[in-house]
Structure 1
Amino acid sequence: MLILGIHGASRLDHEDAPEGFARHDAAAVLLRDGELVAAVEDERLNRVKHSNAFPREAVAWCLREAGLDPGDPHSFAAIDALALNVSELAAEFMALRASGDPRRPLRSAQQHFAAPLSAAFGLDLDLVAPKLRFVHHHLAHAWSAWIPSGFDEALVVTLDGEGDGLSGMVLEAREGRLEVRERLSAGRSLGHWYRRMMAFCGYFRFDEYKVMGMAPYGDPERFAALMDSMVSLEPEGRFSFLGKDSLDASAALELRVLREQGLLAQARKRGEPFEDIHRDFAAALQRQLERIVLHLLGHHREASGLSRLCLAGGVAHNCSMNGRLFYSDLFDDLYVQPLAHDAGGALGAAFAVADLRPDAGVLTGLDLGPAVESGEDLDAVLARYAALVEVESPPALEARAADLLAAGEVVAWVRGRAEFGPRALGQRSILADPRPAENRDRINALIKKREGYRPFAPSVLEERCAELFDVPPERARHPYMITVLRVREEQRARLGAITHVDGTARVQTVSAADNPRYHALIREFAERTGVPALLNTSLNNNAEPIVTSAEDALATLLTTDLRYLAIGERLVHKRERSAQDIALALAPALDRQHKLVRRELPCAAEAEAETGAGGWAQVWRIESAASDFFGEAAVEISDALHELLLRADGRRSLAALIDESPHAARRQQLAEEVFSLWSRRVLRMRGPA
């Protein structure tokens, strides 16, 4: 039985998106007779962070990996059943009514979702539609956590923003069945509440993890009373926000409370510096979230008698909350789905349609995505960048990389198949010595280009985890970087780069069985330094998803202050070149999600005052098909660059394009402009063919 799990919207990624973020984190997974064969988020391929388009590239890759044709799967398992049946179909019905065309048929939910499959892969709509199976959003999350936990009996809890009209579910797993104990309404959404509150700190959707990371810097007592006034903890594990069970009603009251407390005027705007008030607010918000979740789970633990917990949904990515649960001893066993966000729903939907039973062996690692190029294929890619990088083939790459790391270098590490999900676990990582605290500041500022307070995770040899972290040896397996653990007090000063301000770290344990090459690298580093761990963060900058291919990895190497890239069996060393020289040596191109446009826009008031010219001005832009929730939706460019990009074919270098144009006098300015756009991933640059 072949089952393709899918999560995403119905529009294709080159089609303009309306404003919005629905169906974010699009993904595809493939099950063959209950075995997980392939899985990837679409963002890793189309390079749009949190992409919410139909996962065309993810579906195509899963099928190619398994040697299948698009029509081969017996079932297509999709999540968000209610959303597909109500919101999009209602909009389609209204469009049909407005058109007044009696020949235009109203499609079923199956036909609606089958349409992008049909369009992307040339399949007969009527043959694909009957294969579609819809799984409720929260049931998909529940199945995603229950099956790989291996727990025959467990409490299964899903918590997120909203899906199919609910913000969560509490279920019992017994005798191979899931039974719902409680449905959490959208008005009780922990995900939406956390997002609304964190706006005070200048953060918005997809920034939740940043607030979690900032919280330990603050004093939660400062706003404890305020948080308590906003949240009512009620009998039987229930809770509400200002006594309301409505998103709109509670949000309006929250604004009024913040205004009455004089806080709205002190809210941080994006880009402004953080002050103590923002750190304290984040601390109180994080503590209140943990308090609510423990209240909910405590009731259901006692009422159900179940001593094991499976957790999924976007809120389950709150690693600090998971650490609180781990140390609370509320449950004997805790399994947090490492794909807790909506991409994991594609996995859960496939599990549900396959009607699997709990089996810890179904998900033993997350290296389920595309493999990086190797051998001659990798050498061919690297050869196109010969002007910018030096390549060596050390006989023992792990030993060579360990030497560099022990000497203070930062090394990008790319091997094998990419991870499925939001964590880099030794397949697409940036690695460094976990000891010097300045490594944290250095990588945040010069490579990741993000806020300086943000912590980094350690990868530690599983067999030595209890030496560094406060865990009993029998609970020392944490392979997915999903739980915050306490760093042993005597190790905190020694592990300055990975120990957060509150003495914790988001730990990944590495076993020789699960990832032998990464385990060997950490072991080599331990032999040189005595420390059985490395600082590990994802290989990307702040504008892009985690890298997948060699081209992606080279882009991150060349647009950051990284110097070394270990990829396949090669060690790549960046040559000393200016940003302009790097840009001139490479070939520019736009991907499918971006387009060149020329628009007539109203003159800005200040420009009109300066020039005395009113009316409209002609501007050149690169525009994205995705909404601005997923990156820069529109970027103005110079007229000269617009002309060059019209002729760009991804094969000729920028220098060659300039030489063929009348813009030679603007060579350096154009190179600077292109490098900036490339760093922001508005356009792509590749080694010329």
Structure 2
Amino acid sequence: MVNDTLTLFLNQFAAPVVRKEYLKLLQKHCGIDLAKVTFVGHHNAHFSTGYFGSGFGLTREPVLGFTLDGGGDSITSTVWYAKGVKIKPISKTTFETSLGYFYMYTTYYLGLKPVEDEYKLMGLAPYAPQHKVDKLLVKLQELIRVDRKSLTFKSSINTNIFYQYMPKLYKYERFDVIAAAVQQLTEQKIYEWIEAALSRYKANLLVTGGGVFSNVKVNQKILSNSKVKKAFFAPSPGDETNSLGACYWKFHQIFPKRIPKPITNLYLGPRASKEEINKSLKKAQKLGFKVTKPMNINDKIAKLLAKGGIVARFTGKLEFGARALGNRSILADASRLEVKDILNKMIKSRDFWMPFAPAILDTFKKKYLVNPKNIKSPFMMIAFDTTTEGVHDLAAAVHPYDKTARAQIVSQADNAEFWDLLKRFYKLTGKYGILNTSFNLHGEPIVCTPRDALNTLQRSGLKYLQIEDYLIEKNG
């Protein structure tokens, strides 16, 4: 009764007040005609990003959609059934039973930053001794369950105040055990939830949206289900892509018989102008850096990487979202295990247990990745088990303990220039992938402009910086 009353209050009283304030801000700061503003449901937007972004609607095959986050519009999860332009909501769970809040508050309990550092729990989880994890997992499983009939989550506590239960629940437990127990709980409950829906509906295409699906190990677990033929995990699936989802949903309302174009890439940000580039090149020369224009920049970068160099790459349009996908990246030879420590000392300052990620040529992905369903992974949204060859050649870009890789599989269609660089590296070394991490100082956003890139070069231990067709090199 308390949960129902809280949800009713938020939907009928709090939400309208918040929306009214949003409208005032839009009008004040943007001068927008409020008659043109409409609101799209939070989870409608998450679903739309996954469904319309996938392109599965164009197949006219049945598709199941799942959204899951901490909470939005007082909802934490939804299930959808879609076929072409026909879309039907199946279920929703209110945010008093939020699996996302379990994870978020545990992140906070372990001294990390909630709604930001959850990936660190995921990275820490494999190190824990399983026999200790099992004991804590039993306790957690008593708190939340899947209702297979309604396709919702049920909880014996209000997850909005889960932090009140944590001191007693986690008392005397090791930090890695806590991380592993919450990660495994999340994987198990989501798998059970999706399995229940797959068993009821005749669909083997699956799409997801919402911040919990940023968890690449959860997505790997989902793909292990034999009922799933193909899956699309919306890239950068937190609230940042709800801008895309809202547009998709509104398009569907205006043109109910049409399917919009899917997401083909995330290179949606600005491209540097010639003026911006020239300014930064001149400044680099004034700083005493060596500036050259090689005959073929990709050939030059590939040779530097093959010799053990670490290169920051700034080219083309900025990536949208949480992942660097080659255009604002720091690159290295992933077979050299020592580059992890070098990168952390010179710029990244990552926690010791956290892995880097690889970018791999699509034509050779089976050499390195266990991927029986031949799933595409252009956005780094899935963890893969690695082959023996993959563990060797990607040593610095796989998880140190369980040897999984959060791989970006690069095709020529996705990013022709980055694909060409990888191919040149392969011809020099016989290796099909490299280490790819975001081009930024620890705690700062990914660089956006040539000025940002040069500034980061100055303040870090990096030696090489590519800006489009130019190479900037620190002396000494």
Q: Do they fold alike, i.e. is TM over 0.5?
A: yes
Q: After the TM superposition, which residues 625-664 of structure 1 pair with which residues of structure 2 at under 5 Å, given as runs?
A: none
* 1:157 corresponds to which of 66, 90, 99: 66
Query: 1:461 maps to what in 2?
Result: 361
How far does residue 495 in structure 1 lie from its aligned partner after superposition? 2.2
Q: Percent identity?
A: 30
Cα distance change of structure 1 residues 238 and 424 upon mapping to structure 2, 3 Å threshold: same
* 2:113 corresponds to which of 204, 226, 231: 204
1:50-70 CA distances to partner (integer Å, 9 max, x unpaired)?
Answer: xxxxxxxxxxxxxxxxxxxxx
How far does residue 552 in structure 1 lie from its aligned partner after superposition? 1.1
Asked if 1:166 corresponds to 2:75, the answer is yes
How far does residue 279 in structure 1 lie from its aligned partner after superposition? 1.9
Query: 1:449 maps to what in 2?
Result: 349
Partner Cα separation in structure 2 for residue 235 and residue 533 of structure 1: 43
* 2:303 corresponds to which of 400, 403, 412: 403
Asked if 1:554 corresponds to 2:466, the answer is no
Asked if 1:218 corresponds to 2:128, the answer is yes
Query: 2:170 maps to what in 1?
Result: 258
Query: 2:467 maps to what in 1?
Result: 567
Query: 1:178 maps to what in 2?
Result: 87
SS at match of 1:145: helix
How far does residue 416 in structure 1 lie from its aligned partner after superposition? 0.9
SS at match of 1:384: helix
If you compute each CA radius of gyration, which structure gives the higher value, 1 or 2? 1
Cα distance change of structure 1 residues 558 and 521 upon mapping to structure 2, 3 Å threshold: same
Query: 2:6 maps to what in 1?
Result: none
Query: 1:541 maps to what in 2?
Result: 441
Stretches of structure 1 that go unaligned for 5 or more consecutive residues are 1-81, 92-108, 264-276, 577-689
Cα distance change of structure 1 residues 294 and 524 upon mapping to structure 2, 3 Å threshold: same
* 2:379 corresponds to which of 480, 490, 498: 480
| 287-296 or 376-385, which deviates more | 376-385
How far does residue 120 in structure 1 lie from its aligned partner after superposition? 3.1
1:608-664 CA distances to partner (integer Å, 9 max, x unpaired)?
Answer: xxxxxxxxxxxxxxxxxxxxxxxxxxxxxxxxxxxxxxxxxxxxxxxxxxxxxxxxx
* 2:245 corresponds to which of 322, 325, 348: 348
How far does residue 114 in structure 1 lie from its aligned partner after superposition? 3.7
Q: After the TM superposition, which residues 296-445 of structure 1 pair with which residues of structure 2 at under 5 Å, given as runs?
A: 296-355=193-252, 361-374=261-274, 376-388=275-287, 389-445=289-345
Stretches of structure 2 that go unaligned for 5 or more consecutive residues are 1-8
* 1:228 corresponds to which of 131, 138, 142: 138
Aligned partner of 1:449: which letter? S
How far does residue 361 in structure 1 lie from its aligned partner after superposition? 4.5
Partner Cα separation in structure 1 for residue 159 and residue 375 of structure 2: 41
Partner Cα separation in structure 2 for residue 154 and residue 337 of structure 1: 14
Asked if 1:291 corresponds to 2:188, the answer is yes
How far does residue 417 in structure 1 lie from its aligned partner after superposition? 0.7
Partner Cα separation in structure 2 for residue 490 and residue 555 of structure 1: 38
Partner Cα separation in structure 1 for residue 212 and residue 244 of structure 2: 17
Contact 2:140 2:185 in 1 (8 A): no
Contact 1:373 1:550 in 2 (8 A): no
SS at match of 1:527: helix
Cα distance change of structure 1 residues 519 and 210 upon mapping to structure 2, 3 Å threshold: same
Contact 2:251 2:260 in 1 (8 A): no
Partner Cα separation in structure 1 for residue 443 and residue 458 of structure 2: 14
Partner Cα separation in structure 2 for residue 445 and residue 292 of structure 1: 38
1:555-604 CA distances to partner (integer Å, 9 max, x unpaired)?
Answer: 2111111111111111111245xxxxxxxxxxxxxxxxxxxxxxxxxxxx
Cα distance change of structure 1 residues 574 and 84 upon mapping to structure 2, 3 Å threshold: farther
1:139-191 CA distances to partner (integer Å, 9 max, x unpaired)?
Answer: 11001100021223211110001111011111111341322211111122111
Aligned partner of 2:435: which letter? L
Contact 1:444 1:454 in 2 (8 A): no
Contact 1:185 1:245 in 2 (8 A): no
Aligned partner of 2:99: which letter? L
Larger relative CO (CA 8 A, sep 6+): 1 or 2?
2
Partner Cα separation in structure 2 for residue 178 and residue 139 of structure 1: 11
Partner Cα separation in structure 2 for residue 477 and residue 359 of structure 1: 22
How far does residue 420 in structure 1 lie from its aligned partner after superposition? 0.9
How far does residue 330 in structure 1 lie from its aligned partner after superposition? 3.7
Partner Cα separation in structure 2 for residue 467 and residue 83 of structure 1: 51
Contact 2:102 2:182 in 1 (8 A): no
How far does residue 407 in structure 1 lie from its aligned partner after superposition? 0.7
Aligned partner of 2:124: which letter? M
Aligned partner of 1:503: which letter? K
Aligned length: 454
How far does residue 238 in structure 1 lie from its aligned partner after superposition? 4.5
TM-score under structure 2 length normalisation: 0.90
Aligned partner of 1:572: which letter? I
Cα distance change of structure 1 residues 536 and 564 upon mapping to structure 2, 3 Å threshold: same
Asked if 1:522 corresponds to 2:422, the answer is yes
Aligned partner of 1:258: which letter? Y
